[in-house]
Amino acid sequence: MDIRCQRLMLLFALAISFCLPASAQSQASATAGDTPTQLPASLDQRFIDTSADPCTNFFQYACGNFSKYYPIPSDRSSYGTGTLLFEHNEDVLRNILGTATSGGGNRTANEQKIGDYYSACMDSAAIDRKGLQPFQPDLDRIAALKDKSELTPLLAHFQLTNVNAFFGLGEQQDFKDARKQIGVTDQGGLGLPERDYYFRSGATAETTRKQYVQHIVNTLKLIGESPSQAESDAQAIFQLETSLAKVSMDITSRRDPKNVYHLMEVSDLQKLTPSLNWQLLLSDAEFPQITQINVTNPDFFKGLNSLIASTDLNTIKAYLRWQVMASAESTTLPKALDEEKFDFFGRKLRGQPEQQARWKRCVQATDNALGEALGQVYVAKEFPPSSKEATLQMVHDIESAMNEDLDSLDWMSPETKTLAKAKLHAIADKIGYPDHWRDYSKLIVKPGDAYGNAQRAATFENLRQINKIGKPVDRGEWGMSPPTVNAYYDPSMNDINFPAGILQPPFYNPKGTDAENYGHAGGIVGHELTHGFDDEGRLFDGNGNLKDWWTPEDAKKFEEKAECVVNEYDNFVPVDDLHVNGKLTLGENTADNGGLRLAFLAFLADAKRKDIDLDKPQDGFTPIQQFFLGHAQNWCGTTRPQQVRLQVQTDPHSPREFRANGVVQNMPEFGKAFHCKVGQPMMPAKVCRVW
């Protein structure tokens, strides 16, 4: 499973990420050999808006001047402190790739692969000269379909090359026996961000649907269809996707792992969708012989069968042509198709005026395809052993804080506390990079073959995942590349993972104060740790199994406390009249709140050990004020309204302002530190607390 928001969408529960709004499109800045982007201080006083009252809006106080120094560039939909680190890492990676590209015959095998992958991606002239030639074999196979019975081998091929046609297929740990790796098939096939985009009412939603249909029309014309045929096919494709959306599960329901776990015999899946030959499909997708598979949403596959049966073959062929082009990496597309894709998904959907520089996109594409080959060099340059040791100590401190905090809970029974501690003590801490690097020797990367390289990289990764089925779980495996500016918790692995990419200034700064580092990186560590005990994570035991280890009374108390958080965040309005979805964001909000509290407790213990005077100001702020400012400055930045709307409707993370304010208003310690009065916005009389 690829953790970077990937192809099998059910695996939301297996990778609960911190998700700093830092990746995607970024500002073109340095050239090869330039000094990487300058990073802000751990506590950057330039960002503080002293005209704002911290007790009224702490985010505005801590970050109000950020955009004066870092306005959103025209090729970004958002820009924040996470972006600054992301761009710094991107510059480092570009220099690494520049060296690998020009290394000649002395390159290692991995250097050859990352260098050739990047240089082929950068050769837009060659991509334009080839035009649709690289796509023609798939388009020809679609054109040759004479009967729906011929769909099965074609869909198997598409599963290996990441073409999002009808459904997804892959591997996961068995939710109920985490020692096992099993096959999984999931709903899929949609082109809009998620199923409710097809049904929401209102002018904005209707405009988006019309723009999407026009995007399909434009794409089909660019691959050779006449204007009238493209119009007709686009309408038919949209109706087909709408029918798929009707039988798809909504994103909020999918947050409950019980809703997406239905282990069944392959023969029973065959009965659900007799339109497809599942034994042939699995065989052609190079699955090992299996008798059982997790069917995440049986109702979807039942509906899919009816849809395939009732849809004419020409419409299915038009849909498949569209999916081939829509699923392609944008950097492999000829210029007109690349710009058309950006126009809808970047400009219209995210409000981003300009496409990002190609070198930025090619750095990201290389990291996606060869993340550990590239990451191995990145780690050697950017993550010394001293940083790993210091951050590991911070993790241990925060885990100790949670162990002690569990003892203090007055709502949890001793029985459940014992099992909670057992799970806590079983959590594996992964810091920086894997102990064993991934073997890319079987991945063929050819100079000048951008589309072929992307196809082979997708197939390589999908087969790597599929080949794990039936084999022992590799608990040392990572789901993010080392340069990634993010972190995650995996409930089936029961581990927390912090890539070297996020353990850099300003989030972790060896020169920063303990207060700043605990507010920044400590909050991130606590966030991932708390995910093991949020509304999803708490459903898994210490072995990574989906198992109820709570007493009924404790579970009820947890749900009551969680409902307080749901209602609190439901009331936040980030854009227009659109409210945050408290149920969709519950896990992340729980982790934000619980994580910062754990970091605060760990910082207090650290300060006591080191005899730090918590009342003595340094650079104008006491250590506790520095701690909370560090937390808030994780989220400094601005976001375009279109991107905010997209995030609220699709993302389990709350917008940046509420990740800062929503947490501190639930911590009376914050109000005390900034001399707030009960009843002020950041110090309400009623607070929510789960952990």
Indicate which residues carry an active-site annotation. 528, 592
Torsion of CA 646, 648, 650, 653, to 10 degrees: 120
Cα 2 from Cα 480, distance rounded (Å): 8
Q: How far is CA 652 from the centre of its chain?
A: 10
User: Do 38 and 69 contact (CB within 8 A), yes or no?
Assistant: no
Name the nearest CA neighbour of 291 among 159, 470, 473.
470
Q: How far, in Å, are 8, 27, 340, 578, 638 from residue 641 at the CA level?
A: 28, 19, 21, 11, 9
CA atoms within 13 A on the CB side of 498: 26
What b/e sequence results for 321-355 when a residue is b if at least 16 CB atoms lie within 10 Å of its CB, and e otherwise? bbbbbbbbbbbbbbeebbbbbbbbbbbbbbbbeeb
Cα 588 from Cα 307, distance rounded (Å): 36
Residue found under tokens 């947050």 = 255
- Is 575 strand, coil or helix? strand
Instruction: Report the phi/psi class of residue 246: left, alpha or beta, with left for phi > 0 and alpha for psi in -120 to 50.
Output: alpha
Provide CB contacts within 8 A for 400, sequence distance 6+. Answer: 602, 605
∠ CA 390-395-401, nearest 5°, is 125
Structure tokens at 164: 């999002």
Cα 148 from Cα 137, distance rounded (Å): 19
Beta strands per DSSP E along 482-610: 488-490, 495-499
Output phi, psi for 205, to 5 deg. Answer: -65, -40
Query: What are the DSSP calls for 436-471, one per residue?
Result: S----TT----TT-HHHHHHHHHHHHHHHHHTTTTS
Structure tokens at 181: 């790796």
